[in-house]
């Protein structure tokens, strides 16, 4: 099988990577490096390894059963399905608003002329909707591949430059430790969206269904595409931690915690430590991160909302007009959140990230149970073992966080 065979298989996995490499990488991963140096590098790698089975199961279930993971939730039980729908509606609106305003803030910072943040949000939203409504899955597929290629290349260039210049932290610098109860909220938010919210597994299965309508996808092709996208997101998460550790860790400037302010601060500090010529490069990386996330978030959540409505019997399958309506409603709801609650958007995003982490164990188990329930296609021993380890970690850390949040643990 030549390279064309494997190249043709690329699609949903690259879309998943494009959706993931946004707030969780540009902001959370880089902040982890900026605040704590290299201390959280192994944790981010471990989280990605332990979550791997549950994201893989979204693709594997569709390849084996020829139906989406959302349909699997429906068959598993109405309680699971309705819980997914409620979480999905909340995540669709809050995440759309969050990634859109961060993308607009980065574009506003990079432009040589001053435009209002609201206007830029409308322009970015309009450009994304134009691509999605006119080009559908094919256009999204092509745009995401271009974005991921440029993003990977520019990020590696930036990391190489940072390595050559050496760390900003002075020799012998001792930063704060993340291993204290007071930091548990930050760790949970970091892990909640690492590499992405758990509902991305359902979105990936719907992207795979869209690709299958264009061409047949074998199990080898589907898993190759997923693995490439998933481990690329893991690799880039480590690269972003490295960027934060080399460029911002140990600097005299306090680290901004708000997403847009932090991203702009990252660009500024690159200009200070490497040279002003590097600022356009880092601005491009940041904008590519967030534009790719914005367009895939819009498309992906709209697909899950459309699929949920179909399963509830509101309309027939493959209704493009209804799908477009869901996309527009999601976009307008996200924009309304920006217009009316902009000052509260940062805590809303933190809440969404925390909620994502607390609900991940439930949907991780649900994804696992859907694959375990197929007697004719048993899971390999290594994947079954990794799944149980991941569930122990996810449930254990969620219970630890709840105990801390309720004041049952002393900080």
Average pLDDT, the chain: 83
Half-sphere exposure of 303 (CA within 13 A, CB side): 27
Residue 265 domain flag: yes
Q: What is the pLDDT of residues 171-228, one digit of tens each?
A: 778 888 898 888 887 888 788 778 888 888 999 999 998 888 888 888 888 898 999 9
The CATH number of residue 164's host domain is: 1.20.1740.10
Residue 411 domain flag: no
Q: What is the pLDDT of residues 113-144, one digit of tens each?
A: 888 888 999 999 999 999 888 877 777 777 77
In this predicted model, which residue has the larger pLDDT, 12 or 301? 301
- At 62, the pLDDT band (50, 70, 90 cuts) reads very high
Burial class of residue 342, CB neighbours in 10 A (0-12, 13-18, 19+): middle
pLDDT of residue 256: 66
Q: What is the pLDDT of residues 263-304, one digit of tens each?
A: 677 677 667 666 777 777 777 777 877 888 888 889 999 999
Element containing residue 154 per DSSP (H, E): helix 117-165
How far is residue 81 from each of residues 17, 39, 71, 175, 396, measured CA to CA in Å?
Answer: 25, 38, 9, 45, 24
Burial class of residue 139, CB neighbours in 10 A (0-12, 13-18, 19+): middle
Give the pTM.
0.88
Q: What is the pLDDT of residues 91-100, one digit of tens each?
A: 888 888 888 8
Residue 25 domain flag: yes
Q: Mean per-residue pLDDT for 383-410?
A: 86
In this predicted model, which residue has the larger pLDDT, 214 or 255? 214
Residue 249 domain flag: yes
In this predicted model, which residue has the larger pLDDT, 300 or 155? 300
User: Residue 335 sits in which domain range?
Assistant: 3-405
Counted domains in the chain: 1
Query: Is the previous residue joined to 195 through a cis bond, with omega within 30 degrees of 0?
Result: yes
Q: What share of the chain is helix, strand, coil (3-state, %, to 5)?
A: 80, 0, 20
pLDDT of residue 247: 83
Residue 410 domain flag: no
Residue 35 domain flag: yes
Q: Mean per-residue pLDDT for 298-323?
A: 87
pLDDT of residue 410: 63
């Amino acid at each position: 099988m030549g390279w064309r065979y494997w190249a043709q298989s690329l699609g949903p996995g690259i879309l998943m990577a494009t959706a993931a490499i946004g707030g969780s990488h540009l902001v959370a991963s880089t902040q982890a490096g900026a605040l704590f140096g290299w201390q959280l590098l192994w944790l981010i790698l471990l989280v990605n390894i332990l979550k791997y089975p549950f994201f893989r199961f979204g693709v594997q279930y569709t390849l084996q059963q020829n139906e989406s993971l959302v349909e699997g939730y429906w068959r598993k039980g109405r309680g699971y399905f309705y819980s997914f729908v409620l979480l999905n509606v909340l995540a669709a609106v809050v995440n759309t608003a969050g990634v859109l305003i961060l993308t607009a803030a980065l574009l506003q910072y990079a432009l040589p002329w001053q435009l209002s943040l609201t206007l830029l949000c409308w322009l970015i939203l309009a450009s994304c909707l134009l691509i999605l409504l006119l080009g559908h899955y094919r256009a999204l597929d092509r745009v995401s591949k271009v974005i991921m290629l440029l993003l990977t290349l520019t990020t590696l260039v930036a990391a190489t430059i940072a390595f050559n210049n050496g760390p900003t932290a002075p020799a012998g610098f001792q930063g704060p430790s993340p291993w204290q109860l007071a930091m548990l909220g930050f760790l949970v938010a970091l892990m909640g969206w690492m590499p992405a919210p758990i509902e991305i597994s359902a979105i990936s299965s719907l992207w795979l269904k869209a690709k299958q309508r264009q061409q047949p996808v074998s199990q080898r092709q589907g898993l190759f595409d997923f693995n490439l996208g998933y481990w690329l997101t893991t690799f880039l998460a480590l690269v972003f931690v490295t960027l934060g550790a080399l460029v911002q860790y140990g600097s005299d400037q306090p680290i901004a915690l708000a997403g847009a302010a932090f991203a702009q601060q990252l660009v500024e500090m690159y200009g200070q430590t490497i040279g002003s010529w590097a600022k356009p490069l880092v601005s491009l990386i940041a904008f590519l991160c967030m534009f790719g996330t914005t367009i895939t978030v819009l498309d992906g959540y709209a697909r899950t909302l459309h699929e949920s409505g179909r399963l509830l019997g509101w309309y027939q399958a493959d209704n493009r007009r209804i799908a477009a309506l869901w996309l527009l409603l999601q976009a307008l709801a996200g924009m309304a959140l920006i217009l009316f609650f902009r000052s509260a958007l940062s805590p809303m995003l933190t809440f969404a990230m925390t909620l994502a982490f607390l609900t991940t164990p439930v949907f991780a188990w649900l994804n696992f149970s859907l694959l375990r329930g197929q007697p004719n296609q048993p899971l390999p021993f290594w994947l079954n073992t990794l799944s149980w380890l991941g569930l122990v970690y996810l449930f254990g850390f969620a219970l630890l966080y709840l105990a801390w949040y309720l004041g049952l643990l002393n900080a």
